[in-house]
Amino acid sequence: MKDISQELSVLRDEIDDIDSELVKLLAKRRQVTSKVGALKSTVGMPIYAPEREAALLKMRRTQAEQEGINPDVIEDVLRRLMRDSYSSQDESGYRCVNPNCKEVIVVGGQGQLGAIFVDLFKRSEYTVHVIEKDDWDYSEAILAKASVVIVAVPIRLTAMIIQRLNSLPDDCILADVTSIKESPLYEMMRAHNGPVVGLHPMFGPDVSGLIKQTIITCEGRGAAQYQWLLEQFKVWGATIYPVSAYEHDRAMAMVQVMRHFSTIAYGYHLMTEGADLQQLVDMSSPIYRLELIMVGRLFAQDPVLYSDIIFANSDNVAMMKRFAYRFLELLEDVEMGDKEAFVAMFNQVSEWFGDYADIFLAESKTMLLKANEIK
């Protein structure tokens, strides 16, 4: 046994040496990628270069196979390094798409989402002003010089704030970043005669940069005039997805509103049933922990944020009621022991999901393996 533990200790020292080399190599890599970022920012090239990324991964996967190691491991490692290098390249600043732009005004720019835009505009060398609730008395002069005004206030205040923005310069772009689109767009069109665009940034305040994030755009008027703004978002790494406000709100009700609401209802249910949370956590393997995480995470956040989204559109009530009735309808199959009906419904939904069912299953497997690495 003595020999074994000596042998093990020799091997562990070898691993430590390799890992130490690894850290040095990654530090070196980081230096080079920072240079790439600095270089790109001088000419305004986009940081995220999908073809280069794909080519880089392919080369290393091939090499990994030749060396007899799992190519997935090397791909995962490189993706992690690229994520880090994007955020370092971010620090170098961005190309300014429209140097003629005078002032960018972010109303509510101290809020979580507003602050992200303020920061990105500043790092792209725009002059940015923030208007918060106490600043209205002094804001007239600032607004008179605005080239862009972005409304980034809580949903419940959005309509009221937009109504105040009724004397902007005619060539000023008016936009909002609310998670509903029909009613703010309606208000913006009424308040302003110039270019108008509704935006829904599909990410939370946790993002580090906009690479691979989506911004939904709903056209108001003057698309040609606000086109440069969307180009600026692309320079930041975002994908632009244009859709009508009606379709947006309908889709969001199905995804965002419905999921938030039913997750909150599930948390309330767990509490009311007197579930033993400590025991549930202890019993959980990674997949169930992930389920609990997705529920519990909501309750660490601001209830007003969620209730604003849920209460903003009363059309959602009818849709969610239909969910509850369908839930009870399916439960009846269970109560009656009608497994056949249940399986038939399941198969119908499977068919509706089509190829996505398999794609999502594959992605979830990757995801769960990653979940396994947490702690």
Query: Which one of the spans 68-76, 104-112, 116-124, 139-147 is the region binding its own copies (CB under 8 A)?
Result: 68-76
The strand order across the sheet containing 103-107 reads 127-131, 103-107, 146-151, 173-176, 196-201, 214-221, 239-242
Does 294 help bind its own copies (rule: CB under 8 A)?
yes
Q: How many residues does the chain have?
A: 375
Does 46 help bind its own copies (rule: CB under 8 A)?
no
Closer to its own copies by Cβ: residue 63 or 127:
63
Does 358 help bind its own copies (rule: CB under 8 A)?
yes
Binding residues for its own copies, total number by CB under 8 A: 161
**Is residue 231 within 8 Å of 259, Cβ to Cβ?**
no
* Secondary structure of residue 345 in the 3-state scheme: helix
Residue of 143, 148, 245, 310 that binds its own copies (CB under 8 A): 310
Residue list 223-282, contact with its own copies (CB under 8 A):
241, 243, 247-248, 251, 254-256, 258-259, 261-262, 264-273, 275-277, 279-282
Q: How many angstroms separate the CA atoms of 196 and 223, rounded?
A: 8
Say which residue the tokens 């599930």 belong to: 266
CB 175 → its own copies: shortest distance, Å?
18
Does 12 help bind its own copies (rule: CB under 8 A)?
yes
Does 8 help bind its own copies (rule: CB under 8 A)?
yes
CB 136 → its own copies: shortest distance, Å?
25
Give the Å distances, CA to CA, from 255 to 152, 242, 260, 290. Answer: 22, 17, 8, 19
Closer to its own copies by Cβ: residue 40 or 234:
40
Residue list 15-44, contact with its own copies (CB under 8 A):
15-16, 18-30, 32-33, 35-36, 39-40, 42-43
Could you tell me where the DSSP H helices lie in 68-154? 71-90, 112-123, 140-144
Q: Are strands 196-201 and 214-221 parallel, antiparallel or unpaired?
A: antiparallel
Does 58 help bind its own copies (rule: CB under 8 A)?
no
Instruction: Indicate the burial class of 51 (C-beta count within 10 angstroms; 0-12, 13-18, 19 or more).
Output: exposed
Q: How many angstroms separate the CA atoms of 368 and 375, rounded?
A: 13
x/- track of binding to its own copies for residues 78-117 (CB under 8 A): xxxx-xx---------------------------------
Query: Which one of the spans 103-111, 143-151, 222-230, 292-300 is the region binding its own copies (CB under 8 A)?
Result: 292-300
